Amino acid sequence: MIPKEILKKIRKLEIQTKGIVNSLFGGEYQSAFKGRGMEFSEVRAYTYGDDIRQIDWNVTARTGDPFIKIFEEEREQTLMLCIDISQSGTFGTLEQSKMDLAIEICAVLAFSAIKNSDKVGLVLFSDHIEKVVPPKKGRTHVLRLIREMYTTEPTGKGTDIADGLSYINRLLDRRAIVVLASDFQDNDFDKQLRITNQKHDLVSIIINDQFEDELPDLGLVKLRDSETGAEKIVDTSSDKVRKVYKINRMKQKAYLHEMMLKMKIDAVEVKTNESYVKPLMNFFQRRGSRY
């Protein structure tokens, strides 16, 4: 039985995100994510004027007569949402947590996908795979995905991005759009990131909170790592402490962005205290202009 507050939340999110999709992102999604291109359909006998580059030499050699390959445009795609639901996602200093923001953005993408008649699937992960919903079409299916996003309680506390991506690569036997939504508070996932980007059309949604970038001056504060449980007393009134924290944070973000750039992975950075509409629209337009 789904709690009434969750049902209310799902309904509110559907209304909100579908409005954004209909007014802003419907056509942009289609432009940004083209079909897989041309897929082999059949062979037929060569006729004068056919492109000789399409000759199927195996069939031609076997029959003694020239045959060519026929290709058809494949429009239907699969959008796979791969969402980090580890404990660090519960952090949020203003109106919403990083997890809430991830769910809302993924809902927008899911409704955009079904408007384009694409299938949508879901993988939720922490330090292991928490929930998997195979790709399907339709509004009812997307609502089920949103329900799973809201109601799945992770049994793991840590983050294993490599494991999540590895599972996706084993699960999908055809090229798909893979959206990885995470705060990327993890290490040693670059190999699986590269493999996934080679096999699929990978997009990273990097989710941050403003107070993760720099410490506010609050005096002595007990900080707790939500994933490991480790606690530490930090003097946030110290300029040196705040400066060192900010520098380290900037280095982490720069390393992540450099990795994405080097692997040519599309990345969208969003923050819990800012609207995601503009970053997402800019991303769609960048993608669309490349085709």
Strand partners, 182: 206
pLDDT of residue 142: 94
| DSSP H helices in 157-263 | 161-171, 190-199, 210-213, 239-262
Q: Residues 77, 135: contact at Cβ < 8 Å?
A: no
Q: Looking at the whole model, is its pTM more than 0.85?
A: no
pLDDT of residue 146: 94
259 versus 92: the higher-pLDDT residue is 259
Please give the Cα distance from 116 to 200 (Å, whole number).
19
Averaged confidence pLDDT in the chain? 87
Looking only at the bridges linking them, the beta strands covering 201-208 and 266-271 are parallel
Assess whether pLDDT exceeds 60 at residue 74.
Answer: no
**pLDDT classification of 11: cutoffs 50, 70, 90:** confident
Cα dihedral 255, 271, 14, 287 sign: negative
Q: Which of 251, 255, 216, 250 is nearest to 236 (CA)?
A: 216
Residue 247 burial (CB count, 10 A): 11
Cα dihedral 148, 152, 157, 163 sign: negative
Lowest mean pLDDT among 23-27, 121-125, 145-149, 208-212: 23-27
pLDDT of residue 166: 96
Q: Give the residue-averaged pLDDT of 4-12.
A: 82
**pLDDT classification of 1: cutoffs 50, 70, 90:** low
Residue 64 class from Cβ within 10 Å (0-12 exposed, 13-18 middle, 19+ buried)?
Answer: exposed
Task: Name the DSSP class of 10.
Answer: H
Please give the Cα distance from 151 to 170 (Å, whole number).
25
Strand partners, 224: 231
Assess whether pLDDT exceeds 80 at residue 149.
Answer: yes
pLDDT of residue 41: 65
Please give the Cα distance from 215 to 161 (Å, whole number).
26
pLDDT of residue 34: 66
Please give the Cα distance from 88 to 228 (Å, whole number).
10
Using one digit for the tens of pLDDT, what is the confidence trace for 93-118? 777 899 999 999 999 999 999 988 89
**pLDDT classification of 210: cutoffs 50, 70, 90:** confident
pLDDT of residue 290: 66
* Residue 25 three-state SS: helix
pLDDT of residue 144: 94
**1: number of CA atoms within 13 Å, CB side?**
2
Domain spanning 4-33+76-289: which CATH class is it, in words?
alpha beta
Q: Give the residue-averaged pLDDT of 70-95.
A: 82
Please give the Cα distance from 278 to 201 (Å, whole number).
22
Q: Residues 112, 25: contact at Cβ < 8 Å?
A: yes
pLDDT of residue 143: 93
Domain boundaries, the chain: 4-33+76-289, 37-74
Q: Give the residue-averaged pLDDT of 215-239.
A: 80
Assess whether pLDDT exceeds 60 at residue 139.
Answer: yes
pLDDT of residue 162: 96
Q: Is 203 left (phi over 0), alpha (psi -120 to 50) or beta?
A: beta
Please give the Cα distance from 149 to 62 (Å, whole number).
53
**Type of residue found at 79:** L
Please give the Cα distance from 171 to 177 (Å, whole number).
13
Assess whether pLDDT exceeds 70 at residue 75.
Answer: no
